[in-house]
Chains A and B, each alone.
Chain A
Amino acid sequence: MKWISLIPVVAVGALLLFAATDFPEWGDPKSPASQSPVSSHFINNTGVDTEVPNMVTAVLADYRGFDTMFETVVVFIAGIAVLAILKGSGRRRRGPRTTYKVEAEPDLIVTNTVRLVVPVIQLFAFYVLAHGHVSPGGGFQGGVVMGASFILIALAWDLDHALVRMSLPRCIAIAAAGIIIYAGIGFLSMFLGGEFLDYAELERVLPVSREMARYHAMLGVEIGVGFTVTSIMFALYANLSSEGRLKGGL
């Protein structure tokens, strides 16, 4: 029966290869995508419009900020949905879990190393988040690194140890707070007279120019994204590693 599944695969492949012959030259600066007014506007005017050196951050958080808001919402949804799917379903424990018996005591070397490393990771997460305007990075990456530090705690000790620092209700609250920060900045600019997410209007409450208002609002937005991603990444791990029971080590 397996060969039947090859038919659609081969069909799609032929279709895609057929189209690939029509693509512009590899790396051609004159290709429509690279030459379009939209792309050139992003490259030429990001500095003028927002004063952010990293164009990707500027496009992500400002020009296409609405997309990014929903991207944050998607992360939020994933967290909520995983909680909803697994909550209360993990009481019947059976199957091969027992074959991976975890040692009762966390390892001394591991815990001490983690104790040393976690603050550095978290500091790096803040750096990635805050420095996203001028170097690769931003809310997502920073948030994921931050979430990873909590996962590391859960791996080195056990889940309870990490949940003391970041309980699940707190996770959801922080994730919701992230969206509130993001949407709140949008609302603020809406109430100040612009469109939703028109950060330039924030100049009326910030003592800076329109461009710098965009610059600073983007930082605020990235912090919101970082909140949501941090907590949801940890919540994902906590739920999946314990089948929603939220107890015990991996």
Chain B
Amino acid sequence: MFEDGAIINELLIERLNYFIYVVLLLIGLHAMISKRNLIKKLIGMSIFQTSIILFYVSIAVKDEATIPIYKAEHDPHGAASKAAALELNSTDEAKPLYAPAELQPEETQQYANPLPHVLMLTAIVVGVATFGLALALCLRIQQGYGTVEEDELLVKIERSDARYSQSPLAKAINPRRRPARTSRKPRTASKATRVSQKSASSPKSTGATQTKKSAPKTKATQARKKPAPATRKPAVKKSSVRKPANKTTSPKKKGAE
């Protein structure tokens, strides 16, 4: 039905607003789905939301209508109503007469519909709230993973997930070693392991398996995982190394907070 020239014509000429809002909405939606950069996704999200607001504002438009603020002759505190009030103030029933008069239906046509405007004020504010929150998330992701590119992020997340979802049976070679710090509080956990990394950076325990370019957390993962299945000794050694390292970090953390 879109091949019909009349409809295209109607859309492009008479309802350009409706057409452009759809175009903007699609641009935003496509950016949200396909862009790899998280900030770009957010810009797309904002475009998506503004296009919907454009649609609502388009609903409110009336031909020949002005903005939804009373003109002087309808203003409840304007000159016209004051004059009326002064004239009629002498009688006892002044109050109902003082009250501004209701507009007649033909006068209603002079003003744009205020309701969509109100709704969109709310929507704009909700939009900026979401936007701010999403930016905070971006910062947090940057701090955690060092990137806001989705494809790089996915790789790093996959690596850290592989560590968290590892079975405690596979980890617990040494029965006395509980599967400590697996999934909760990864920040402190990663910190502890990182410090342990620094203190125990002698090549004997960790080996040459580390890569320099990845995030410290994943470094620690590899360092912890690799020696464990190989032999018992490095695991025991590592745990003994990590304990004091953990102790040294905890007061520092308290101080920072």
Contacts and interface: CB of A to CB of B under 8 A. Distances in A.
Interface of A: 2, 5-6, 8-10, 12-14, 16-18, 20-21, 23, 25-29, 31, 33-34, 38-40, 42-48, 51-56, 59-60, 64, 67-68, 71, 74-75, 77-78, 81-82, 85-86, 88-92, 94-95, 134-136, 140, 209, 211, 229, 236, 239-240, 243-244
Interface of B: 1-2, 7, 10-11, 14-15, 17-19, 22, 25-26, 29-30, 33-34, 58-65, 67-70, 74-78, 95, 99-105, 107-109, 111, 113-119, 121-122, 125-126, 128-130, 132-133, 135-137, 139-140, 142-143, 146, 187, 256-257
Nearest to A243: B139
B114 A68 contact: no
Contact of A90 (B19, B143, B257): B143
A53 B125 contact: no
A2 B34 contact: yes
Contact of B129 (A55, A74, A95): A74
A135 B101 contact: no
Given A89-B140, A140-B125, A134 B69 contact: yes
Q: Interface residues of A: mostly helix, strand, loop or mixed?
A: helix
B173 to A, nearest CB: 31
Contacts of A74: 125-126, 129
Given A23-B18, A54-B70, A56-B118, 16 more contacts: A33-B59, A34-B60, A39-B115, A44-B105, A47-B103, A48-B100, A48-B101, A48-B102, A55-B68, A60-B118, A67-B119, A71-B122, A82-B136, A88-B256, A140-B121, A140-B125
A43 B111 contact: yes
Nearest to B147: A95
Contact of A29 (B62, B121, B129): B62
Nearest to A1: B34
Given A21-B7, A33-B113, A56-B114, A81 B122 contact: no
Contact of A5 (B33, B62, B122): B33
A42 B34 CA distance: 42
A77 B125 CA distance: 12
A9 B30 contact: yes
A48 to B, nearest CB: 5
Contacts of A34: 60, 62, 113
Contacts, number: 194
27 contacts: A6-B34, A17-B22, A20-B15, A26-B58, A27-B65, A33-B116, A38-B115, A39-B114, A43-B68, A44-B102, A46-B70, A46-B114, A48-B76, A53-B70, A55-B114, A56-B68, A60-B118, A67-B119, A74-B126, A75-B129, A82-B132, A85-B136, A89-B140, A89-B187, A90-B143, A140-B125, A244-B139
Given A20-B11, A240-B132, A9 B76 contact: no
A27 B139 contact: no
A77 B129 contact: yes
A13 B61 contact: no
Given A5-B30, A71-B126, A26 B61 contact: yes
A211 B34 contact: no
B62 A27 contact: yes
Contacts of B30: 5-6, 9
